[in-house]
């Protein structure tokens, strides 16, 4: 270890210490203020899901800070852990050249080396930080560009509201039509046949690359959702609900869950010279993304097939029946889990590439050969573009075709009003129970309150169905 590397604060000029501290503190405070004012803005605009996503980002930054603290505090302890030199000559990311000497610690005995050098620990520290930043950035970009695509559907929502309902909310007259004459059925059923399973999956695979959601898709799925979950409110703004549901899911995607950290550890373990793990593993999110997009398109086709097989002619508009049975294992949430993993794994690939490039150089042995690098980058860009332009919009609308609806069906202030109502009812129950000294009345009131709340949640599809006065009173 060189003499300059061993200089402590005792012999460091005070202007250097003060200057470095000033820069670090200034950058930290600036970042904190940006996050704070972003949160204030989101709350002022009543963007609760995005605000919660921002809180999730803060949690990830706090976790990174804790990891950084642990690596710094235990740096000397790790350096003092010594192992036989032969153990460290296996499963290396780069081929060990002849004459290469491992760094030896002053405290090591003969033929022993440190478990992890100071420099390697520092590089690992930087990689973890880069990974988290890239993941958050990619998630934000995906949701932003995907959201722009979804917001283009608003014109369809406005057109439906304008064409189908007048100021008195009088629906159009119903006519009996051949079910196969509907555009939705023509696109997803005719030409495929009932038994052409392979052809149907092939159609779903191809459709995700062009016009993943057409006007007939949106119109039909929207009507199916409304007729299933809020039949009493035909003016329900499905597009607004869908945007709120997507924002609510975004806060889950932006985080790095424990199982994703396990994936990072496994990849670092398998990054052995000659295995080209970084190349082969790039195909994992690629294949998963295509599978998710195909499945979501196939759900739409299944809805069309169900109607076409059961009806020859229908009266009025075409109505599909949402069901969890169309999704993997009957759970639409699995799609969100896969998208979360795809975005993280793609972020990991890109972060690892740039970390190696900046830290060791493009010609580093750990970077690999160009013939493996270029396809890897192309796949990463392709995943990001396809997920933003097709898969995420598909997820936003198709996962609404499950048996249940999401809590985003209620506007934020309606949720607050109902929660306030529940809290008031609970307080009244407590007062009456204390006054009567009997548990029977309390039990009866609790059951009654639960029934009323459940009824309110089932009926209140939009804020218009609850009187503003009652909402205002309950939210105080």
Percent of the chain residues past pLDDT 90, beyond the cut: 11
Selection from 221, 235, 220, 227 nearest residue 167 by Cα: 235
> Model's pTM, two decimal places?
0.76
pLDDT digits (tens, 9 = 90+) for 206-248: 989 887 888 889 988 998 898 888 887 777 889 988 888 888 8
436 and 379 within one domain: no
Show which of 360, 389, 409 is a domain's final residue: 409
Considering the domain architecture, whether residues 278 and 193 belong to the same structural domain is answered as yes
Last residue of a domain, one of 382, 409, 436: 409
* Domain range for 374: 140-409
Same domain, 281 and 188: yes
Predicted local confidence at residue 35, as pLDDT:
83
Residue 290 lies in a domain: yes
Residues 229 and 356 in one domain: yes
Domain annotation covers residue 148 = yes
pLDDT of amino acid 291: 95
Q: What is the pLDDT of residue 385?
A: 92
**Secondary structure of residue 177 in the 3-state scheme:** strand
317 with 464, same domain: the answer is no
With respect to residue 183, please indicate whether it lies within any of the assigned structural domains. Answer: yes
Residues 433 and 373 in one domain: no
pLDDT at residue 287 is higher than 90: yes
Does one domain contain both 291 and 439? no
Instruction: Please report whether residue 61 resides in a domain.
Output: no
Residues 199 and 277 occupy one common structural domain:
yes
CA distance 41 to 81: 49
Say yes or no: 416 and 405 in one domain: no
100 within some domain: no
Q: Are residues 192 and 269 in the same domain?
A: yes
Only one residue has tokens 């399973």, namely: 197
Indicate whether 130 belongs to any domain: no
Please determine, for residue 338, whether its predicted confidence score (pLDDT) is greater than 90.
yes
Query: Domain end: 360, 381, 409, which one?
Result: 409
What span, in angstroms and rounded, lies between the C-alpha atoms of 294 and 333?
A: 16
Say whether pLDDT at 1 is over 50. Answer: no
Within a domain: 156 = yes
Both 32 and 181 in a single domain? no
SS (H, E, C) the chain: CCCHHHCCHHHCCHHHHHHHHHHHHHHHHHHHHHHHHHHHHHHHCCCHHHHHHHHHHHHHHHHHHHHHHHHHHCHHHHHHCEEEHHHHHCCCCCCCCCCCCCCCCCCCCCCEEECCCHHHHHHHHHHHHHHHHHHHHHHHHHHHHHHHHHHCCHHHHHHHHHHHCCCCCCCCCCCEEEHHHCHHHHHHCCCCCCCCHHHHHHHHHHHCCCCCCCHHHHHHHHHHHHHHHCCCCCCCCHHHHHHHHHHHHHHHHCCCCHHHHHHHHHHHHHCCCCCCHHHHCCHHHHHHHHHHHHHHHHHHHHHHHHHHHHCCEEECCCCCCCCHHHCHHHCCHHHHHHHHHHHHHHHHHHHHHHHHHHHHCCCCCCCCCHHHHHHHHHHHHHHHHHHHHHHHHHHHHHHHHCCCCCHHHCCHHHHHHHHHHHHHHHHHHHHHHHHHCCHHHHHHHHHHHHHHHHHHHHHCCCHHHCCHHHHHHHCC
Tell me whether strands 176-178 and 112-114 are parallel, antiparallel or unpaired: unpaired
| pLDDT of the residue at 444 | 44
- Is residue 445 situated within a structural domain? yes
Q: How far apart are CA 415 and CA 408, in angstroms?
A: 9
Structure-model confidence comparison of residues 449 and 431, the more confident one? 431
How much is the average pLDDT of 36-60? Answer: 78
Q: Taking all residues of the chain, what is their mean pLDDT, rounded to a whole number?
A: 77
User: Do 308 and 420 belong together in one domain?
Assistant: no
Q: Per-residue pLDDT tens for 136-191?
A: 888 888 888 888 888 889 999 888 888 765 544 444 556 677 777 787 888 776 44
Q: Which residue has the higher pLDDT, 30 or 166?
A: 30
pLDDT score of 308:
82
Domain count, the chain: 3
194-216 as b/e, with b when 16 or more CB fall inside 10 Å? Answer: eeeeeebeebbbebbeeebbbeb
Cα R_g (the chain), whole angstroms: 29
**Is the pLDDT assigned to residue 67 strictly greater than 50?**
yes
């Amino acid at each position: 270890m060189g003499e300059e590397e061993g200089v402590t604060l005792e012999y460091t000029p005070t202007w250097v210490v003060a200057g470095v501290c000033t820069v670090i503190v200034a950058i930290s405070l600036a970042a904190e203020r940006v996050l704070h004012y972003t949160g204030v803005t989101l709350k002022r605009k009543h963007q609760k899901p995005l605000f919660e996503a921002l809180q999730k980002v803060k949690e990830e930054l706090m976790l990174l800070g804790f990891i950084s603290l642990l690596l710094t505090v235990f740096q000397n302890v790790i350096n003092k852990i010594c192992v036989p030199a032969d153990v460290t000559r296996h499963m290396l990311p780069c081929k060990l050249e002849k004459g290469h000497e491992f760094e030896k610690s002053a405290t090591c005995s003969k033929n022993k080396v440190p478990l992890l050098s100071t420099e390697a620990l520092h590089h690992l520290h930087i990689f973890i930080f880069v990974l988290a930043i890239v993941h958050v950035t990619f998630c934000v970009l995906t949701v932003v560009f995907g959201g722009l695509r979804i917001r283009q559907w608003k014109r369809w929502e406005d057109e439906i509201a304008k064409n189908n309902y007048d100021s008195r909310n009088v629906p159009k007259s119903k006519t009996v039509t051949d079910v196969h004459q509907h555009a939705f059925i023509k696109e997803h059923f005719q030409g495929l046949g009932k038994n052409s399973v392979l052809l149907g999956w092939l159609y779903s695979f191809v459709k995700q690359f062009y016009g993943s959601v057409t006007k007939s898709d949106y119109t039909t799925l929207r009507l199916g959702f409304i007729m299933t979950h809020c039949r009493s409110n035909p003016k329900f703004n499905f597009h607004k609900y869908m945007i709120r549901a997507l924002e609510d899911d975004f806060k889950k995607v932006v985080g790095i869950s424990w199982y994703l950290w396990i994936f990072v550890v496994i990849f670092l373990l398998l990054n052995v010279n000659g295995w080209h793990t970084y190349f082969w593993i790039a195909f994992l999110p690629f294949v998963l993304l295509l599978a998710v997009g195909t499945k979501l398109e196939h759900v739409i086709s299944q809805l069309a097939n169900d109607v076409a097989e059961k009806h020859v002619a229908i009266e009025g508009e075409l109505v599909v029946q949402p069901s969890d049975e169309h999704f993997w294992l009957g759970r639409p949430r699995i799609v969100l889990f896969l998208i979360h993993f795809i975005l993280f794994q793609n972020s990991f690939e890109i972060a690892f590439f740039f970390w190696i490039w900046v830290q060791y150089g493009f010609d580093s042995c750990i970077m690999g050969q160009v013939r493996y690098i270029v396809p890897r980058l192309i796949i990463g860009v392709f995943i990001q573009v396809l997920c933003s332009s097709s898969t995420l919009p598909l997820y936003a609308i198709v996962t609404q075709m499950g048996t249940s609806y999401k809590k985003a069906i209620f506007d934020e202030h309606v949720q607050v009003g109902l929660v306030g109502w529940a809290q008031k009812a609970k307080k009244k129950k407590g007062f009456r129970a204390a006054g009567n000294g009997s548990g029977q009345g309390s039990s009866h009131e609790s059951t009654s309150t639960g029934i009323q709340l459940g009824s309110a949640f089932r009926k209140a599809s939009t804020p218009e169905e609850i009187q503003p006065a009652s909402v205002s009173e309950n939210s105080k």
